[in-house]
A and B are shown apart, each in its own frame.
Chain A
Amino acid sequence: MTEYGIEVSEKDVDVEEAQPHELILKSGQTVPKEVAKGKVTMSSDPTTVNHGLGYTPQFLVWATYPNYPDYESLDVVLLMTGNFDAGSAYVDTSDLKLLPAQAQGNDNDAKYYIFYDDLDGITSPTVSDNDDYGLEISKDGIDVEDANIFQQTFNSKKNTMKILEADITTTGSSDIDIPVTHGLGVIPGYLIYFKVGSGKWYSTWEREGVSGNDVQVGAVSEESNIYVQVKRSGSCTVYVRVYAFVDPGN
Protein backbone atom coordinates (compact mmCIF):
# COMPACT_ATOMS: atom_id res chain seq x y z
CA MET A 1 0.00 0.00 0.00
CA THR A 2 1.37 3.42 -0.97
CA GLU A 3 1.68 5.51 2.22
CA TYR A 4 -0.18 8.70 1.34
CA GLY A 5 -3.69 9.99 1.06
CA ILE A 6 -6.81 9.12 2.99
CA GLU A 7 -8.16 5.64 3.44
CA VAL A 8 -11.23 4.77 5.44
CA SER A 9 -12.07 1.11 5.77
CA GLU A 10 -15.38 -0.55 6.55
CA LYS A 11 -16.20 -1.32 10.13
CA ASP A 12 -14.18 -4.24 11.51
CA VAL A 13 -11.79 -4.15 8.56
CA ASP A 14 -8.17 -3.32 9.25
CA VAL A 15 -7.38 -0.38 7.03
CA GLU A 16 -3.80 -1.67 6.65
CA GLU A 17 -5.09 -4.91 5.12
CA ALA A 18 -8.26 -3.79 3.39
CA GLN A 19 -8.88 -4.76 -0.20
CA PRO A 20 -9.90 -1.89 -2.50
CA HIS A 21 -13.55 -2.86 -2.36
CA GLU A 22 -13.47 -2.90 1.45
CA LEU A 23 -12.66 0.80 1.66
CA ILE A 24 -15.37 3.34 2.36
CA LEU A 25 -13.15 6.09 1.02
CA LYS A 26 -9.75 6.16 -0.59
CA SER A 27 -8.21 9.28 -1.97
CA GLY A 28 -7.38 7.56 -5.25
CA GLN A 29 -10.95 6.33 -5.81
CA THR A 30 -13.47 8.75 -7.28
CA VAL A 31 -16.79 9.04 -5.53
CA PRO A 32 -19.76 10.11 -7.66
CA LYS A 33 -20.32 13.73 -6.77
CA GLU A 34 -23.82 15.07 -6.79
CA VAL A 35 -24.55 18.08 -8.98
CA ALA A 36 -28.10 18.54 -7.87
CA LYS A 37 -30.95 16.74 -6.25
CA GLY A 38 -34.55 17.61 -5.84
CA LYS A 39 -38.13 16.56 -5.84
CA VAL A 40 -40.69 17.60 -8.41
CA THR A 41 -44.29 16.83 -9.20
CA MET A 42 -44.53 15.57 -12.74
CA SER A 43 -47.47 17.72 -13.70
CA SER A 44 -46.55 18.19 -17.33
CA ASP A 45 -45.24 15.91 -20.06
CA PRO A 46 -42.35 16.37 -19.84
CA THR A 47 -41.53 18.06 -16.56
CA THR A 48 -38.15 19.71 -17.03
CA VAL A 49 -35.31 20.18 -14.53
CA ASN A 50 -32.46 22.25 -15.87
CA HIS A 51 -28.98 20.95 -14.99
CA GLY A 52 -27.08 23.33 -17.24
CA LEU A 53 -24.03 21.09 -17.58
CA GLY A 54 -23.70 21.22 -21.34
CA TYR A 55 -23.37 17.44 -21.57
CA THR A 56 -25.52 14.42 -20.67
CA PRO A 57 -24.77 13.45 -17.05
CA GLN A 58 -25.54 10.23 -15.28
CA PHE A 59 -28.53 10.39 -12.96
CA LEU A 60 -30.89 8.40 -10.80
CA VAL A 61 -34.62 9.04 -10.42
CA TRP A 62 -37.28 7.36 -8.33
CA ALA A 63 -40.99 8.11 -8.65
CA THR A 64 -44.23 7.35 -6.88
CA TYR A 65 -47.07 5.15 -8.08
CA PRO A 66 -50.14 7.27 -7.36
CA ASN A 67 -53.32 5.29 -6.91
CA TYR A 68 -51.76 2.10 -8.21
CA PRO A 69 -53.31 -1.01 -6.65
CA ASP A 70 -51.21 -2.76 -4.00
CA TYR A 71 -48.92 0.22 -3.40
CA GLU A 72 -49.06 3.15 -1.01
CA SER A 73 -49.11 6.62 -2.50
CA LEU A 74 -45.54 7.42 -1.35
CA ASP A 75 -43.88 4.18 -2.45
CA VAL A 76 -41.25 4.74 -5.11
CA VAL A 77 -39.69 2.83 -7.97
CA LEU A 78 -36.56 3.41 -10.02
CA LEU A 79 -37.55 5.21 -13.21
CA MET A 80 -36.39 3.47 -16.29
CA THR A 81 -38.03 3.54 -19.68
CA GLY A 82 -41.45 2.21 -20.34
CA ASN A 83 -42.85 2.29 -16.82
CA PHE A 84 -46.44 2.99 -17.74
CA ASP A 85 -47.51 3.32 -14.14
CA ALA A 86 -44.69 5.50 -12.79
CA GLY A 87 -43.32 7.30 -15.86
CA SER A 88 -39.83 7.54 -17.28
CA ALA A 89 -36.87 9.92 -17.27
CA TYR A 90 -34.02 10.90 -19.52
CA VAL A 91 -31.36 13.60 -19.76
CA ASP A 92 -30.17 15.71 -22.63
CA THR A 93 -27.33 18.24 -22.61
CA SER A 94 -29.28 20.83 -20.66
CA ASP A 95 -32.16 19.19 -18.82
CA LEU A 96 -33.45 16.20 -16.97
CA LYS A 97 -36.79 15.35 -18.57
CA LEU A 98 -39.39 13.57 -16.47
CA LEU A 99 -42.34 11.93 -18.17
CA PRO A 100 -45.24 11.32 -15.78
CA ALA A 101 -47.20 8.15 -15.28
CA GLN A 102 -49.73 7.52 -18.02
CA ALA A 103 -51.92 5.00 -16.31
CA GLN A 104 -53.32 6.70 -13.30
CA GLY A 105 -54.40 10.14 -14.39
CA ASN A 106 -52.88 11.84 -11.33
CA ASP A 107 -49.59 13.67 -11.15
CA ASN A 108 -46.85 11.65 -9.52
CA ASP A 109 -43.69 12.83 -7.78
CA ALA A 110 -40.08 12.20 -8.72
CA LYS A 111 -36.88 12.49 -6.66
CA TYR A 112 -33.79 12.97 -8.76
CA TYR A 113 -30.03 12.96 -8.28
CA ILE A 114 -27.73 14.23 -11.00
CA PHE A 115 -24.01 13.49 -10.89
CA TYR A 116 -20.95 15.13 -12.32
CA ASP A 117 -19.42 13.25 -15.19
CA ASP A 118 -15.73 12.99 -15.82
CA LEU A 119 -15.63 11.09 -19.05
CA ASP A 120 -12.77 11.78 -21.39
CA GLY A 121 -13.65 14.41 -23.87
CA ILE A 122 -15.30 16.81 -21.46
CA THR A 123 -12.64 19.49 -21.67
CA SER A 124 -14.65 22.53 -20.74
CA PRO A 125 -16.62 21.85 -17.61
CA THR A 126 -19.15 24.51 -16.88
CA VAL A 127 -18.59 24.29 -13.16
CA SER A 128 -15.60 25.07 -11.01
CA ASP A 129 -15.03 24.86 -7.30
CA ASN A 130 -13.60 27.98 -5.71
CA ASP A 131 -14.92 27.67 -2.15
CA ASP A 132 -12.03 27.21 0.26
CA TYR A 133 -13.59 25.07 2.96
CA GLY A 134 -14.20 21.45 3.61
CA LEU A 135 -12.26 18.42 2.43
CA GLU A 136 -11.10 18.15 -1.15
CA ILE A 137 -9.07 15.32 -2.58
CA SER A 138 -7.64 15.66 -6.05
CA LYS A 139 -6.72 12.90 -8.46
CA ASP A 140 -3.17 11.68 -8.59
CA GLY A 141 -0.90 14.24 -10.24
CA ILE A 142 -3.40 17.10 -9.92
CA ASP A 143 -2.70 20.09 -7.67
CA VAL A 144 -5.64 20.21 -5.27
CA GLU A 145 -5.49 24.03 -5.36
CA ASP A 146 -6.09 23.98 -9.12
CA ALA A 147 -8.38 20.95 -9.46
CA ASN A 148 -11.80 21.47 -10.97
CA ILE A 149 -14.70 19.28 -9.98
CA PHE A 150 -13.80 16.62 -12.53
CA GLN A 151 -10.28 16.38 -11.19
CA GLN A 152 -11.40 15.67 -7.64
CA THR A 153 -12.01 12.20 -6.28
CA PHE A 154 -13.82 13.65 -3.30
CA ASN A 155 -15.27 17.02 -2.35
CA SER A 156 -17.05 17.39 0.98
CA LYS A 157 -19.32 20.06 -0.55
CA LYS A 158 -20.75 17.51 -2.97
CA ASN A 159 -23.08 14.89 -1.61
CA THR A 160 -22.16 11.25 -2.05
CA MET A 161 -24.68 8.44 -2.27
CA LYS A 162 -24.49 6.52 1.01
CA ILE A 163 -25.58 2.94 0.86
CA LEU A 164 -26.67 0.03 2.97
CA GLU A 165 -26.37 -3.39 1.40
CA ALA A 166 -28.54 -6.47 1.74
CA ASP A 167 -28.50 -9.85 0.04
CA ILE A 168 -31.47 -12.09 -0.73
CA THR A 169 -31.62 -15.64 -2.00
CA THR A 170 -34.87 -17.24 -3.11
CA THR A 171 -35.34 -20.73 -4.51
CA GLY A 172 -38.63 -21.74 -5.99
CA SER A 173 -40.89 -21.53 -9.00
CA SER A 174 -43.52 -19.00 -7.98
CA ASP A 175 -43.52 -15.23 -7.98
CA ILE A 176 -42.58 -13.72 -4.63
CA ASP A 177 -42.27 -10.33 -2.94
CA ILE A 178 -39.49 -10.20 -0.34
CA PRO A 179 -39.31 -7.32 2.17
CA VAL A 180 -35.88 -5.94 3.01
CA THR A 181 -36.12 -3.87 6.17
CA HIS A 182 -33.88 -0.83 5.92
CA GLY A 183 -34.58 1.11 9.14
CA LEU A 184 -33.56 4.41 7.57
CA GLY A 185 -36.60 6.42 8.56
CA VAL A 186 -37.02 7.63 4.98
CA ILE A 187 -38.21 6.06 1.77
CA PRO A 188 -34.79 5.33 0.30
CA GLY A 189 -33.60 5.37 -3.22
CA TYR A 190 -32.21 2.02 -4.30
CA LEU A 191 -30.46 -0.04 -6.92
CA ILE A 192 -30.81 -3.77 -7.23
CA TYR A 193 -28.84 -6.39 -9.10
CA PHE A 194 -29.66 -10.03 -9.52
CA LYS A 195 -28.41 -13.28 -10.96
CA VAL A 196 -30.15 -16.57 -11.65
CA GLY A 197 -28.28 -19.69 -10.61
CA SER A 198 -24.68 -19.41 -11.71
CA GLY A 199 -25.40 -16.82 -14.39
CA LYS A 200 -24.22 -13.27 -14.73
CA TRP A 201 -25.44 -10.30 -12.68
CA TYR A 202 -28.07 -8.07 -14.23
CA SER A 203 -29.42 -4.67 -13.26
CA THR A 204 -33.00 -4.41 -12.19
CA TRP A 205 -35.92 -5.80 -14.12
CA GLU A 206 -33.84 -7.61 -16.65
CA ARG A 207 -35.23 -10.79 -18.04
CA GLU A 208 -32.95 -13.78 -17.87
CA GLY A 209 -33.93 -16.97 -19.57
CA VAL A 210 -33.06 -19.94 -17.40
CA SER A 211 -33.68 -23.34 -18.92
CA GLY A 212 -36.36 -21.75 -21.02
CA ASN A 213 -37.85 -19.82 -18.10
CA ASP A 214 -37.89 -16.06 -17.75
CA VAL A 215 -37.01 -14.22 -14.55
CA GLN A 216 -37.70 -10.59 -13.79
CA VAL A 217 -36.57 -8.84 -10.63
CA GLY A 218 -37.68 -5.38 -9.60
CA ALA A 219 -38.27 -3.45 -6.43
CA VAL A 220 -40.49 -0.91 -4.74
CA SER A 221 -39.21 1.23 -1.89
CA GLU A 222 -41.39 2.28 1.01
CA GLU A 223 -41.06 3.65 4.50
CA SER A 224 -39.96 0.49 6.28
CA ASN A 225 -38.92 -1.90 3.55
CA ILE A 226 -37.68 -2.25 0.05
CA TYR A 227 -39.84 -4.93 -1.50
CA VAL A 228 -37.92 -7.04 -3.97
CA GLN A 229 -40.27 -8.56 -6.53
CA VAL A 230 -39.25 -11.76 -8.25
CA LYS A 231 -41.28 -13.08 -11.15
CA ARG A 232 -40.31 -16.43 -12.63
CA SER A 233 -41.89 -19.01 -14.87
CA GLY A 234 -39.93 -22.02 -13.61
CA SER A 235 -37.94 -23.37 -10.69
CA CYS A 236 -34.68 -21.54 -10.06
CA THR A 237 -32.56 -19.85 -7.42
CA VAL A 238 -32.35 -16.08 -7.65
CA TYR A 239 -29.70 -14.04 -5.84
CA VAL A 240 -30.38 -10.34 -5.28
CA ARG A 241 -28.13 -7.54 -4.00
CA VAL A 242 -29.98 -4.50 -2.73
CA TYR A 243 -28.33 -1.11 -2.37
CA ALA A 244 -30.55 1.07 -0.22
CA PHE A 245 -29.47 4.68 -0.33
CA VAL A 246 -29.58 6.74 2.83
CA ASP A 247 -30.47 9.46 0.37
CA PRO A 248 -34.27 9.51 0.03
CA GLY A 249 -36.09 8.35 -3.04
CA ASN A 250 -38.96 10.73 -2.41
Chain B
Amino acid sequence: MTDKYGIQITDPDVDLEEAIPEEYIFNSEYRSLRISSRGSGSINSTSGGGLVTIPHGLGYVPAFLVHVDPGQSNNYYIAPYVPTGIFGTPLIYAYADPTNLYIKADSAGSNTNYTISDDNCMYREGGGFQSDGGATIGDISGTTWRGALRYQNISLSQGASVTSATLNFYGGEVGAGNLDNMYCYGIDEDNTDVFNNPFSRTKTTASTLLGGTVPSVGNYYSINVKSQVEEIVDRGGWSSGNAMGFTIIPLGDESTGYMFDDNDGTNSYLNVVTTTATVANYKYTIFLNQLE
Protein backbone atom coordinates (compact mmCIF):
# COMPACT_ATOMS: atom_id res chain seq x y z
CA MET B 1 0.00 0.00 0.00
CA THR B 2 1.45 3.36 -1.01
CA ASP B 3 -1.04 5.89 0.31
CA LYS B 4 0.41 7.64 3.38
CA TYR B 5 -2.79 8.77 5.03
CA GLY B 6 -5.36 7.50 7.43
CA ILE B 7 -5.08 5.09 10.31
CA GLN B 8 -3.44 1.68 9.98
CA ILE B 9 -3.07 -0.83 12.77
CA THR B 10 -1.42 -4.16 12.12
CA ASP B 11 -1.44 -7.53 13.82
CA PRO B 12 1.12 -7.88 16.60
CA ASP B 13 4.66 -8.43 15.28
CA VAL B 14 3.73 -7.30 11.77
CA ASP B 15 5.69 -4.40 10.36
CA LEU B 16 3.30 -1.67 9.35
CA GLU B 17 5.42 -0.87 6.29
CA GLU B 18 5.30 -4.44 5.04
CA ALA B 19 1.82 -5.58 6.06
CA ILE B 20 -0.46 -7.12 3.47
CA PRO B 21 -4.16 -6.26 3.67
CA GLU B 22 -5.17 -9.28 5.71
CA GLU B 23 -2.58 -8.45 8.36
CA TYR B 24 -4.31 -5.23 9.34
CA ILE B 25 -6.42 -5.08 12.45
CA PHE B 26 -7.79 -1.82 11.12
CA ASN B 27 -7.12 0.22 8.01
CA SER B 28 -9.01 3.40 7.23
CA GLU B 29 -8.58 2.63 3.54
CA TYR B 30 -11.31 0.02 3.99
CA ARG B 31 -14.75 0.35 5.35
CA SER B 32 -15.62 -1.68 8.41
CA LEU B 33 -18.80 -3.12 9.75
CA ARG B 34 -20.14 -0.88 12.48
CA ILE B 35 -22.91 -1.93 14.76
CA SER B 36 -26.10 0.03 15.11
CA SER B 37 -27.99 -2.35 17.30
CA ARG B 38 -28.11 -5.94 18.41
CA GLY B 39 -30.78 -8.08 19.93
CA SER B 40 -32.31 -11.51 20.26
CA GLY B 41 -35.68 -13.16 20.57
CA SER B 42 -37.82 -16.05 19.44
CA ILE B 43 -40.14 -16.67 16.53
CA ASN B 44 -42.97 -19.10 15.78
CA SER B 45 -44.36 -19.58 12.29
CA THR B 46 -47.85 -20.04 13.70
CA SER B 47 -47.86 -16.83 15.74
CA GLY B 48 -48.15 -13.32 14.35
CA GLY B 49 -47.86 -14.58 10.82
CA GLY B 50 -44.42 -15.92 11.72
CA LEU B 51 -43.00 -12.41 11.38
CA VAL B 52 -40.85 -10.43 13.80
CA THR B 53 -40.49 -6.72 13.01
CA ILE B 54 -37.52 -4.89 14.49
CA PRO B 55 -37.43 -1.11 14.01
CA HIS B 56 -33.92 0.17 13.43
CA GLY B 57 -34.58 3.91 13.20
CA LEU B 58 -31.88 4.54 10.60
CA GLY B 59 -33.99 5.91 7.76
CA TYR B 60 -32.12 3.83 5.20
CA VAL B 61 -31.69 0.14 4.48
CA PRO B 62 -28.88 -1.21 6.66
CA ALA B 63 -26.76 -4.28 6.27
CA PHE B 64 -27.58 -6.95 8.83
CA LEU B 65 -26.53 -10.34 10.06
CA VAL B 66 -28.92 -12.84 11.61
CA HIS B 67 -28.23 -16.16 13.26
CA VAL B 68 -31.04 -18.58 14.03
CA ASP B 69 -31.48 -21.48 16.42
CA PRO B 70 -34.16 -23.72 14.87
CA GLY B 71 -35.67 -26.05 17.38
CA GLN B 72 -34.44 -23.79 20.21
CA SER B 73 -31.61 -26.12 21.10
CA ASN B 74 -29.05 -23.33 21.53
CA ASN B 75 -27.39 -24.17 18.20
CA TYR B 76 -27.22 -21.04 16.05
CA TYR B 77 -26.78 -21.07 12.26
CA ILE B 78 -26.24 -18.22 9.84
CA ALA B 79 -29.62 -17.28 8.36
CA PRO B 80 -31.33 -18.08 6.07
CA TYR B 81 -32.15 -21.48 7.47
CA VAL B 82 -32.67 -23.94 4.62
CA PRO B 83 -33.02 -27.44 6.07
CA THR B 84 -33.73 -29.18 2.77
CA GLY B 85 -30.59 -28.10 0.97
CA ILE B 86 -29.21 -24.96 -0.61
CA PHE B 87 -31.71 -25.03 -3.47
CA GLY B 88 -34.61 -25.63 -1.14
CA THR B 89 -37.06 -23.20 0.38
CA PRO B 90 -35.77 -21.23 3.37
CA LEU B 91 -37.83 -21.71 6.51
CA ILE B 92 -36.30 -18.80 8.43
CA TYR B 93 -34.94 -15.74 6.68
CA ALA B 94 -34.32 -12.04 7.14
CA TYR B 95 -34.82 -8.89 5.12
CA ALA B 96 -34.81 -5.15 5.67
CA ASP B 97 -36.25 -1.88 4.47
CA PRO B 98 -35.58 1.73 5.53
CA THR B 99 -37.65 1.27 8.67
CA ASN B 100 -37.29 -2.29 9.94
CA LEU B 101 -35.37 -5.53 10.00
CA TYR B 102 -37.74 -8.43 9.48
CA ILE B 103 -37.22 -12.02 10.52
CA LYS B 104 -39.69 -14.46 9.02
CA ALA B 105 -40.39 -18.10 9.82
CA ASP B 106 -42.50 -20.30 7.56
CA SER B 107 -44.04 -23.62 8.51
CA ALA B 108 -42.57 -26.69 6.87
CA GLY B 109 -44.97 -28.58 4.67
CA SER B 110 -45.16 -31.78 2.70
CA ASN B 111 -47.59 -32.91 0.05
CA THR B 112 -47.21 -36.61 -0.75
CA ASN B 113 -49.08 -38.96 -3.06
CA TYR B 114 -48.90 -42.62 -2.10
CA THR B 115 -49.65 -45.05 -4.90
CA ILE B 116 -50.56 -48.70 -5.18
CA SER B 117 -47.46 -50.84 -5.52
CA ASP B 118 -48.85 -54.28 -6.36
CA ASP B 119 -51.97 -56.48 -6.45
CA ASN B 120 -51.64 -57.35 -2.78
CA CYS B 121 -52.61 -53.75 -2.07
CA MET B 122 -56.07 -53.95 -3.64
CA TYR B 123 -59.08 -56.14 -2.92
CA ARG B 124 -62.69 -56.47 -4.03
CA GLU B 125 -65.63 -58.57 -2.99
CA GLY B 126 -69.11 -58.88 -4.43
CA GLY B 127 -71.67 -61.60 -4.84
CA GLY B 128 -69.39 -64.19 -3.24
CA PHE B 129 -66.50 -63.36 -5.57
CA GLN B 130 -63.23 -62.18 -4.08
CA SER B 131 -60.07 -61.01 -5.79
CA ASP B 132 -56.93 -59.01 -5.17
CA GLY B 133 -56.76 -58.02 -8.80
CA GLY B 134 -58.29 -54.59 -8.31
CA ALA B 135 -60.81 -52.75 -6.16
CA THR B 136 -64.48 -52.21 -6.89
CA ILE B 137 -67.10 -50.15 -5.06
CA GLY B 138 -70.79 -49.68 -5.78
CA ASP B 139 -73.44 -51.71 -7.58
CA ILE B 140 -72.98 -53.84 -10.68
CA SER B 141 -76.18 -55.27 -12.03
CA GLY B 142 -77.75 -55.54 -8.62
CA THR B 143 -74.67 -56.92 -6.87
CA THR B 144 -73.16 -54.67 -4.22
CA TRP B 145 -69.37 -54.53 -4.14
CA ARG B 146 -66.93 -53.44 -1.48
CA GLY B 147 -63.28 -52.58 -1.99
CA ALA B 148 -60.02 -52.15 -0.06
CA LEU B 149 -56.80 -50.28 -0.75
CA ARG B 150 -53.38 -50.49 0.95
CA TYR B 151 -50.50 -48.03 0.84
CA GLN B 152 -46.97 -48.76 1.95
CA ASN B 153 -44.12 -46.63 3.33
CA ILE B 154 -46.32 -43.94 4.82
CA SER B 155 -44.02 -41.16 5.96
CA LEU B 156 -45.87 -39.98 9.07
CA SER B 157 -44.46 -40.10 12.57
CA GLN B 158 -46.40 -41.61 15.43
CA GLY B 159 -48.96 -39.12 16.67
CA ALA B 160 -48.58 -36.82 13.68
CA SER B 161 -51.36 -34.46 12.75
CA VAL B 162 -52.11 -33.86 9.10
CA THR B 163 -53.43 -30.83 7.32
CA SER B 164 -55.42 -33.03 4.96
CA ALA B 165 -55.64 -36.62 3.75
CA THR B 166 -57.63 -37.65 0.70
CA LEU B 167 -58.21 -41.10 -0.75
CA ASN B 168 -58.70 -40.69 -4.49
CA PHE B 169 -60.46 -43.75 -5.92
CA TYR B 170 -59.75 -44.24 -9.61
CA GLY B 171 -62.40 -45.20 -12.12
CA GLY B 172 -60.61 -47.40 -14.63
CA GLU B 173 -64.03 -48.75 -15.45
CA VAL B 174 -67.27 -47.14 -14.28
CA GLY B 175 -71.00 -47.67 -14.36
CA ALA B 176 -73.08 -44.51 -14.35
CA GLY B 177 -75.18 -43.83 -11.28
CA ASN B 178 -74.60 -42.89 -7.64
CA LEU B 179 -72.46 -44.13 -4.79
CA ASP B 180 -74.79 -43.94 -1.78
CA ASN B 181 -74.76 -45.24 1.78
CA MET B 182 -71.19 -46.44 1.50
CA TYR B 183 -68.63 -45.75 4.20
CA CYS B 184 -64.86 -45.48 3.99
CA TYR B 185 -62.99 -46.71 7.07
CA GLY B 186 -59.34 -46.95 7.92
CA ILE B 187 -58.01 -50.40 8.84
CA ASP B 188 -57.15 -49.92 12.49
CA GLU B 189 -53.80 -51.71 12.60
CA ASP B 190 -50.21 -50.73 13.37
CA ASN B 191 -48.91 -51.93 10.02
CA THR B 192 -51.51 -53.30 7.62
CA ASP B 193 -50.41 -56.56 6.02
CA VAL B 194 -51.06 -57.69 2.44
CA PHE B 195 -54.71 -58.23 1.65
CA ASN B 196 -56.46 -61.56 1.97
CA ASN B 197 -60.10 -60.72 2.63
CA PRO B 198 -59.39 -57.57 4.61
CA PHE B 199 -63.02 -56.73 5.39
CA SER B 200 -63.01 -58.59 8.69
CA ARG B 201 -60.13 -56.49 10.02
CA THR B 202 -60.78 -53.95 12.76
CA LYS B 203 -62.03 -50.63 11.43
CA THR B 204 -61.25 -47.15 12.68
CA THR B 205 -63.91 -45.31 14.62
CA ALA B 206 -63.61 -42.54 12.08
CA SER B 207 -65.42 -43.02 8.79
CA THR B 208 -66.54 -41.01 5.78
CA LEU B 209 -69.93 -41.33 4.11
CA LEU B 210 -69.75 -41.45 0.34
CA GLY B 211 -72.45 -40.00 -1.86
CA GLY B 212 -73.10 -38.47 -5.19
CA THR B 213 -72.59 -39.24 -8.83
CA VAL B 214 -70.01 -41.68 -10.12
CA PRO B 215 -67.42 -39.69 -12.09
CA SER B 216 -66.78 -40.46 -15.74
CA VAL B 217 -64.22 -43.10 -16.64
CA GLY B 218 -60.60 -42.10 -16.07
CA ASN B 219 -61.42 -39.77 -13.20
CA TYR B 220 -61.26 -39.95 -9.42
CA TYR B 221 -63.75 -39.94 -6.57
CA SER B 222 -62.16 -38.10 -3.65
CA ILE B 223 -62.80 -39.20 -0.05
CA ASN B 224 -61.70 -37.17 2.97
CA VAL B 225 -59.83 -39.64 5.21
CA LYS B 226 -58.02 -37.16 7.50
CA SER B 227 -59.61 -38.52 10.68
CA GLN B 228 -58.96 -42.13 9.68
CA VAL B 229 -55.28 -41.43 8.98
CA GLU B 230 -54.80 -39.60 12.27
CA GLU B 231 -56.51 -42.38 14.20
CA ILE B 232 -54.15 -44.95 12.69
CA VAL B 233 -50.94 -42.96 13.28
CA ASP B 234 -52.10 -42.29 16.83
CA ARG B 235 -51.74 -45.98 17.58
CA GLY B 236 -48.88 -46.72 19.94
CA GLY B 237 -47.48 -49.30 17.56
CA TRP B 238 -47.49 -47.04 14.52
CA SER B 239 -44.17 -45.83 13.13
CA SER B 240 -43.18 -43.94 10.02
CA GLY B 241 -42.68 -46.25 7.07
CA ASN B 242 -45.52 -48.60 8.00
CA ALA B 243 -48.39 -49.54 5.68
CA MET B 244 -51.91 -48.19 5.98
CA GLY B 245 -55.16 -49.56 4.55
CA PHE B 246 -58.74 -48.47 3.87
CA THR B 247 -61.99 -50.30 3.21
CA ILE B 248 -65.05 -48.93 1.42
CA ILE B 249 -68.11 -50.80 2.54
CA PRO B 250 -71.80 -50.44 1.63
CA LEU B 251 -74.25 -50.47 4.52
CA GLY B 252 -77.18 -51.00 2.17
CA ASP B 253 -77.91 -51.43 -1.53
CA GLU B 254 -78.68 -47.81 -2.34
CA SER B 255 -75.82 -47.40 -4.81
CA THR B 256 -76.76 -47.48 -8.44
CA GLY B 257 -73.35 -47.02 -10.08
CA TYR B 258 -69.87 -48.44 -9.60
CA MET B 259 -66.17 -47.74 -9.94
CA PHE B 260 -63.55 -50.37 -10.68
CA ASP B 261 -59.84 -49.66 -10.21
CA ASP B 262 -58.40 -52.38 -12.39
CA ASN B 263 -54.78 -51.75 -11.39
CA ASP B 264 -53.86 -51.12 -15.01
CA GLY B 265 -51.26 -48.34 -14.80
CA THR B 266 -53.19 -45.44 -13.28
CA ASN B 267 -54.43 -46.25 -9.80
CA SER B 268 -56.19 -44.91 -6.77
CA TYR B 269 -53.82 -42.90 -4.61
CA LEU B 270 -53.67 -41.47 -1.11
CA ASN B 271 -52.70 -37.80 -0.81
CA VAL B 272 -51.41 -36.55 2.55
CA VAL B 273 -50.55 -32.94 3.33
CA THR B 274 -48.76 -32.04 6.55
CA THR B 275 -47.70 -28.74 8.12
CA THR B 276 -45.09 -28.45 10.85
CA ALA B 277 -44.59 -25.24 12.79
CA THR B 278 -41.13 -23.66 12.73
CA VAL B 279 -40.07 -22.41 16.16
CA ALA B 280 -36.66 -20.79 16.63
CA ASN B 281 -34.53 -18.36 18.59
CA TYR B 282 -32.65 -15.66 16.75
CA LYS B 283 -29.87 -13.15 17.25
CA TYR B 284 -29.41 -10.17 15.00
CA THR B 285 -26.96 -7.39 14.32
CA ILE B 286 -28.02 -4.32 12.42
CA PHE B 287 -25.08 -2.45 11.00
CA LEU B 288 -24.74 1.24 10.30
CA ASN B 289 -23.48 0.27 6.87
CA GLN B 290 -26.01 1.33 4.29
CA LEU B 291 -27.36 -0.93 1.55
CA GLU B 292 -29.69 1.68 0.10
Interface residues of A (CB under 8 A from B): 8, 10-11, 20-21, 23-26, 29-32, 56, 58-61, 78-86, 88-93, 97, 117-119, 134-135, 154, 156-165, 184-186, 191, 193, 195, 200-207, 216, 218, 239, 241, 243, 246-248
- Known contacts being A30-B35, A191-B65, A203-B93, is A81 close to B28, with CB within 8 Å? no
User: What are 12 sample pairs from A and B whose C-beta atoms fall under 8 A apart?
Assistant: A21-B60, A23-B288, A24-B32, A80-B77, A80-B78, A82-B85, A90-B76, A117-B283, A156-B25, A162-B32, A193-B291, A246-B21
Q: How far is the CB of B249 from chain A (nearest CB, A)?
A: 44
- The CA-CA distance from A109 to B85 in the complex, in Å, is 19
- Nearest residue (CB) in B for A86 is B86
- The CA-CA distance from A24 to B34 in the complex, in Å, is 8
- Interface code B22-65, partner A: CB below 8 Å = 1, 0 otherwise? 10111111111111101110000000000000000010110111
Across the interface, B285 reaches (CB within 8 A) one of A58, A85, A154, namely: A58
Size range of the chain B interface in the assembly: 35 or more
Say whether A80 contacts B26, CB under 8 Å.
no
Cβ-closest 3 pairs across A and B: A162-B30, A82-B82, A30-B35
Q: How far is the CB of A172 from chain B (nearest CB, A)?
A: 20
B6 interfacial contact with A, CB 8 Å: yes
Say whether B35 contacts A201, CB under 8 Å.
no
Across the interface, B31 reaches (CB within 8 A) one of A24, A26, A184, A201, namely: A24
Query: Chain A residues with Cβ under 8 A from B60's Cβ?
Result: 21
Say whether A200 contacts B26, CB under 8 Å.
no
Interface residues of B (CB under 8 A from A): 6-7, 9, 11-12, 20-22, 24-36, 38-40, 58, 60-61, 63-67, 69-70, 74-90, 93-97, 102, 283, 285, 288-292
- Known contacts being A203-B66, A203-B80, is A162 close to B26, with CB within 8 Å? yes
Query: Chain B residues with Cβ under 8 A from A92's Cβ?
Result: 74-76
Q: How far is the CB of A198 from chain B (nearest CB, A)?
A: 10
- Nearest residue (CB) in B for A85 is B86
Say whether A119 contacts B288, CB under 8 Å.
no
Across the interface, B22 reaches (CB within 8 A) one of A186, A207, A218, namely: A186
Say whether A207 contacts B32, CB under 8 Å.
no
- Known contacts being A80-B77, A89-B78, is A24 close to B85, with CB within 8 Å? no
Say whether B75 contacts A81, CB under 8 Å.
no
- Known contacts being A81-B77, A162-B32, is A156 close to B285, with CB within 8 Å? no
Say whether A160 contacts B26, CB under 8 Å.
yes
Query: Chain B residues with Cβ under 8 A from A29's Cβ?
Result: 34-36, 288
Query: Chain A residues with Cβ under 8 A from B40's Cβ?
Result: 119
- Known contacts being A93-B74, A97-B75, is A21 close to B86, with CB within 8 Å? no
Query: Chain B residues with Cβ under 8 A from A203's Cβ?
Result: 64-66, 79-80, 93-95
Say whether A162 contacts B24, CB under 8 Å.
yes
- Nearest residue (CB) in B for A208 is B95
Query: Chain B residues with Cβ under 8 A from A82's Cβ?
Result: 81-86, 88
- The CA-CA distance from A165 to B32 in the complex, in Å, is 10
Say whether B77 contacts A88, CB under 8 Å.
yes
- The CA-CA distance from A211 to B28 in the complex, in Å, is 43
- The CA-CA distance from A86 to B86 in the complex, in Å, is 10
A-B contacts besides A81-B81, A157-B25, A160-B32, 7 pairs, CB < 8 Å: A31-B33, A191-B65, A201-B97, A201-B292, A204-B80, A206-B80, A207-B90
- Known contacts being A56-B76, A81-B77, is A205 close to B25, with CB within 8 Å? no
Across the interface, A31 reaches (CB within 8 A) one of B32, B38, B39, B76, namely: B32
Say whether B76 contacts A160, CB under 8 Å.
no
- Known contacts being A8-B7, A31-B33, is A24 close to B83, with CB within 8 Å? no
Query: Chain B residues with Cβ under 8 A from A191's Cβ?
Result: 63, 65
Say whether A202 contacts B95, CB under 8 Å.
yes
Query: Chain A residues with Cβ under 8 A from B36's Cβ?
Result: 29
Across the interface, A218 reaches (CB within 8 A) one of B9, B75, B86, B283, namely: B86
Query: Chain B residues with Cβ under 8 A from A163's Cβ?
Result: 30-33, 289
Say whether A193 contacts B26, CB under 8 Å.
no
Q: How far is the CB of A109 from chain B (nearest CB, A)?
A: 16
- The CA-CA distance from A1 to B96 in the complex, in Å, is 28
From B26, B288, B290, residue with most partner A Cβ within 10 Å: B26
Say whether A83 contacts B94, CB under 8 Å.
no
- The CA-CA distance from A60 to B81 in the complex, in Å, is 14
Query: Chain B residues with Cβ under 8 A from A61's Cβ?
Result: 78
Say whether A247 contacts B22, CB under 8 Å.
yes
